[in-house]
Each structure stands twice: as C-alpha cells, then as structure tokens.
C-alpha cells in the first residue's frame, strides 16, 4: 500500500523516501478498532529547502485532536526532512530504519535501505555508551 499524503496537504509526495506506520500498531499494542493510525516518513525537500532559502523541517497533520483523543478513524502524519530526521536522535533513527511496517519508495528508498545499518550502528553505540555510563554511576 503506497500512502498518499497529498490528501492531507503534503506537497512533496514525489520526494518521499519512505513511510511507515508507527505508534501502537507498530509496537503490537493496537487494541482492535480503538486506536488511530500514526504515519511517519522521510522526504527530501525541494531545492529551496535544501539550500536553506525556505525553512522546512517536517510536515504534520492530524484528523484528530478532539476532546478525548484520537479515535479509530483518525490519522496522524509526521513526515521529516532527511536532515531533520538525522538530527533527531537514536530512538527515532532506529525506529525509522528498522520498522517492520515501513514502505520504501522509489530509488531513494532503496538507497535508504542501504544506509540503515550505518544509522543503526551509531544509535546502538550511543545506547551502549549511555547504559555503560549509568552502570558505572550505579556501581561507583
């Protein structure tokens, strides 16, 4: 299923590298028809964004936001530029690089698959360093 975010006002559909379903569904915690659908993705902004002439870091959209939270028919979308995503930190990079619900789009998506281990390795090293530091603090 190729997502169409243009219906939500996303104007860079052709620059989309990848998309994936996150949230409770990605973590196996979705309870039947009770939770909304959370989409995340990566895209390359147009040349004006890459050059810094226009500030563009991400696209966010929701059909929810009503009192009581999102329902089963609601959709949340958060699509990051590649540069913004790379600076988000290990948790987001690991989730995006290795999410089982991801859909890679076109040639750029294939290239992203090839670089996933690089981001994953950096993230793992950072997590191990953090855990090591915590253990040293606990044990003295």
Instruction: Note the pLDDT tens digit of each residue in 21-49.
Output: 888 787 777 777 778 888 998 898 888 87
What is the predicted pLDDT for the residue at 78? 92
3-state secondary structure of 122: helix
Q: Could you tell me the pTM of the whole model?
A: 0.71
Q: Count of domains in the chain?
A: 1
Domain that includes residue 50, residue range: 5-139
**Partners of residue 43 on adjacent β-strands:** 16, 81
Q: What is the pLDDT of residue 60?
A: 92
Average pLDDT value for the chain: 77
Give me the phi and psi of 45, to 5 degrees please: -70, 165
CATH of the domain at 80: 3.30.460
pLDDT value at 10 more than 90 = yes
List the Cα angle 52/53/59 in 5-degree steps.
Answer: 70
HSE at residue 115, side-chain half, CA atoms within 13 A, is: 14
Which of 41, 133, 113 has the alpha carbon at shortest distance from 79? 41
């Amino acid at each position: 299923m190729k997502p169409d975010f243009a219906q939500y006002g996303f104007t860079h559909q052709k620059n989309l590298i990848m998309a994936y379903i996150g949230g409770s569904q990605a973590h196996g915690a979705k309870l039947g028809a009770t939770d909304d659908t959370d989409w995340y993705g990566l895209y390359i902004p147009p040349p004006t964004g890459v050059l810094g002439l226009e500030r563009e870091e991400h696209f966010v959209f929701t059909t929810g936001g009503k009192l009581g939270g999102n329902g089963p028919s609601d959709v949340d979308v958060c699509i990051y530029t590649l540069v913004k995503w790379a600076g988000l930190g290990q948790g987001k990079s690991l989730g995006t690089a290795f999410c089982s619900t991801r859909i890679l789009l076109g040639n750029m998506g294939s290239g992203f698959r090839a670089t996933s281990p690089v981001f994953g390795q950096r993230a793992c090293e950072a997590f191990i360093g953090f855990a090591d530091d915590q253990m040293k603090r606990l044990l003295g």
